[in-house]
Chains A and B, each alone.
Chain A
């Protein structure tokens, strides 16, 4: 397999088109392992992977853990309490303690954007980002891209609409970085309160005035999660109005291409971001996204260890 030169995977922004393509094609071959009777290969045997999750996320953590186990790595899960994590010293101290365990890879989720770069400078092991603040969530971005590639066989030339709270979405940032590098056209929609300044300069994206405009003739409609406890304060009047103007339902979905795929990084607020009939409808690829998560994460873990393997 071709070379992957990075110690860490922190952001798709840091990767070239070729490196992203490599991660995706490796994921495709990893998927074959997941369909075997014995879902395990010795590739990372003897490697220690620490899952360090400052924010709870059963789904992402389990997916990374499964990926590690299928590659025969030993895994440890650490979930420091979020209250102690508000003190800055904690991450630096935790890093030193972790060093004593001699991990090969630390998979981290942290609420502070850029904390992975901070850790990466302190530690010689590989850092894999499982979500940092509102910066990036590269494994989610990759699994979304893999799912689109499954459906269309390519990413080049696709029209992808991303709808919702772009400001607070690391998923959106990773998808924007990855998709535009691989030749997709990205259209964003959401209330202006949720649209970060200068976002159109992130790759080549178009900010639309309405959901209708963004999803018109789209190949992919990606809906983002609305966190009502956060956005409820000043970013929108309430969930009901949000659903009316920015929610995906069978009627407005007709504006997209007839065979458009519908995606959501989960967990879904049914009836807010999407009508239940769309979530469960035949254009929905949401469960396939989850399935692809393990393969993509196997690919990421494999490639950050690769230098030592060959």
Chain B
């Protein structure tokens, strides 16, 4: 299927583009871009008037729960949620059951992604065998099988020596390392951010330094070993400061945050709301401000979702025992568009954080609309109003703090390799 996307505002930071252009897609590739293109015979015309036409969004941090925990989500339902959210590529974390620490499982995930046939599903493999933090995973084979990064996401690598070796080894294999940074001795039995709200609610707090210290360690190890590192789900002002300083020194560090960390504070936990329980936890107003500043000045490279589906039975319990995490694929775009409206990001910077940068970090040949590139394209209506409703979400799970709330902006069409896989 060939497409001519007309009258849209094409925003492609990889080419420094932000202007009204037509875009011709042929055989799954971007063929041509220009003004007043005429459609060759048999080409479907897509009217993108009033919409932004951007390189397909890439979410480098999702949990698809397959294999093993399909009652929460599976690769197909997660893919459906992804394309509904405007994502053409997603990278899924290996903390499934069993964990993805060998090439057979990595290939299984890729095959299931292809069967679903919606977005590109790129597996992230384990950083250590079994994600146990004891010895290195087979990173070479994982990469060969199609893994785009390695990570023990869900838990930190406690042993600093092992983290050092993991960074060195991964550098040799040319596969990026994603760090889930937290100091477990400081986390203790904490279930929310440590601060006034945890004091008032009588819930055990997780201090911000639990994240800051672990990030500082990992950044120093990356610096010492001259290896790249990507820090997942940054949530504190201290973390932003540490990463900003490290970048100034030339450390090869990149990082991501998630929409909840620039939108909500730990006030959302009030009422013991388990849909505001996540790890790292929602922080405080000055952290939110720092995250926004970090996004704005480029310290934070990526907006990822940390899409973490959980069954109602795992959230409809007392706060202490509730599962950590919220779904995010379908709310990420409108929450991020709010940053554009509020002047934190330009539209072009938003596309960098949500498409170009994650592609670059994972080494995907995505995140660009350059001539000859794979035609992964998202059409965004930045003003479209819609309401988050459980029965309209594509994800199997509904654990979101925004249930019932109005969102502004959505993907109206998601195109993967020239094929329209989602239309709103």
**Chain A residues within an 8 Å CB radius of B319:** 112-115, 118
Which residue on A lies nearest to B194, using beta carbons?
A197
Which of B35-43, B58-66, B197-205 is found at the contact surface with chain A? Answer: B197-205
How close is B209's CB to chain A, nearest CB, in angstroms?
A: 12
How close is B403's CB to chain A, nearest CB, in angstroms?
A: 15
Are B317 and A92 in contact, with the CB atoms below 8 A? yes
Are A86 and B201 in contact, with the CB atoms below 8 A? no
B360 sits at the interface (CB 8 A)? no
Are A88 and B202 in contact, with the CB atoms below 8 A? no
Q: Which of B195, B196, B205, B313 has the most C-beta atoms of chain A within 10 angstroms of its own C-beta?
A: B196
Which residue on A lies nearest to B320, using beta carbons?
A112
Q: A136 to B322, alpha carbons, bound, how many Å?
A: 20
Which residue on B lies nearest to A166, using beta carbons?
B199
Are A136 and B318 in contact, with the CB atoms below 8 A? no
B316 sits at the interface (CB 8 A)? yes
**Chain A residues within an 8 Å CB radius of B317:** 88-89, 91-92, 118
Which residue on B lies nearest to A86, using beta carbons?
B321
A15 sits at the interface (CB 8 A)? no
Q: A88-B318, A88-B321, A91-B318 are in contact. Are A114 and B196 (CB under 8 A)?
A: no
Q: A118 to B313, alpha carbons, bound, how many Å?
A: 13
Are B200 and A13 in contact, with the CB atoms below 8 A? yes
Which residue on B lies nearest to A122, using beta carbons?
B316
Q: A13 to B271, alpha carbons, bound, how many Å?
A: 12
Within 8 A of B (CB), among A73-124: 86-89, 91-92, 110, 112-115, 117-118
A-contact bits for B183-217, CB 8 A (1 contact / 0 none):
00000000000111111111111000000000000
Which one, B200, B205, B318, contacts A112 given CB within 8 A?
A: B318
How close is A88's CB to chain B, nearest CB, in angstroms?
A: 3
Which residue on A lies nearest to B271, using beta carbons?
A117
A132 sits at the interface (CB 8 A)? yes
Q: Which of A88, A115, A117 has the most C-beta atoms of chain B within 10 angstroms of its own C-beta?
A: A88
**Chain A residues within an 8 Å CB radius of B195:** 197-198
Q: A134 to B201, alpha carbons, bound, how many Å?
A: 8
How close is B414's CB to chain A, nearest CB, in angstroms?
A: 37
Q: A132 to B204, alpha carbons, bound, how many Å?
A: 13
**Chain A residues within an 8 Å CB radius of B402:** none
Are B199 and A133 in contact, with the CB atoms below 8 A? no
Which residue on B lies nearest to A119, using beta carbons?
B318
Which one, B199, B313, B318, contacts A199 given CB within 8 A?
A: B199
Q: A114 to B322, alpha carbons, bound, how many Å?
A: 12
Interface extent on A, as a size class? 20 to 34
Are B196 and A201 in contact, with the CB atoms below 8 A? yes
Q: A86-B321, A89-B317, A197-B194 are in contact. Are A135 and B199 (CB under 8 A)?
A: no
B272 sits at the interface (CB 8 A)? yes
Q: A183 to B317, alpha carbons, bound, how many Å?
A: 37
Are B205 and A114 in contact, with the CB atoms below 8 A? no
**Chain A residues within an 8 Å CB radius of B316:** 92
Are A198 and B318 in contact, with the CB atoms below 8 A? no
B-contact bits for A188-202, CB 8 A (1 contact / 0 none):
000000001111011
Which one, B200, B271, B318, contacts A115 given CB within 8 A?
A: B318
**Chain B residues within an 8 Å CB radius of A112:** 318-321
Q: A132 to B203, alpha carbons, bound, how many Å?
A: 10
Q: A134 to B322, alpha carbons, bound, how many Å?
A: 17
Are A114 and B201 in contact, with the CB atoms below 8 A? yes
Which residue on B lies nearest to A113, using beta carbons?
B202
How close is B48's CB to chain A, nearest CB, in angstroms?
A: 46
**Chain A residues within an 8 Å CB radius of B321:** 86-88, 112
**Chain A residues within an 8 Å CB radius of B198:** 196-197
**Chain A residues within an 8 Å CB radius of B203:** 113-114, 133, 135
A31 sits at the interface (CB 8 A)? no
Are B322 and A88 in contact, with the CB atoms below 8 A? yes
A225 sits at the interface (CB 8 A)? no
How close is B190's CB to chain A, nearest CB, in angstroms?
A: 12
Q: A92 to B312, alpha carbons, bound, how many Å?
A: 13
Residues of chain A whose beta carbon lies under 8 Å from any beta carbon of chain B: 13, 86-89, 91-92, 110, 112-115, 117-118, 132-136, 167, 170, 173, 196-199, 201-202
Residues of chain B whose beta carbon lies under 8 Å from any beta carbon of chain A: 194-205, 271-272, 313-314, 316-322
Q: List 5 A-B contacts (CB under 8 A).
A: A114-B201, A114-B318, A134-B202, A197-B194, A197-B196
Query: Which 6 pairs from chain A and chain B are nearest by CB?
Result: A198-B196, A135-B202, A88-B317, A114-B272, A88-B321, A113-B202
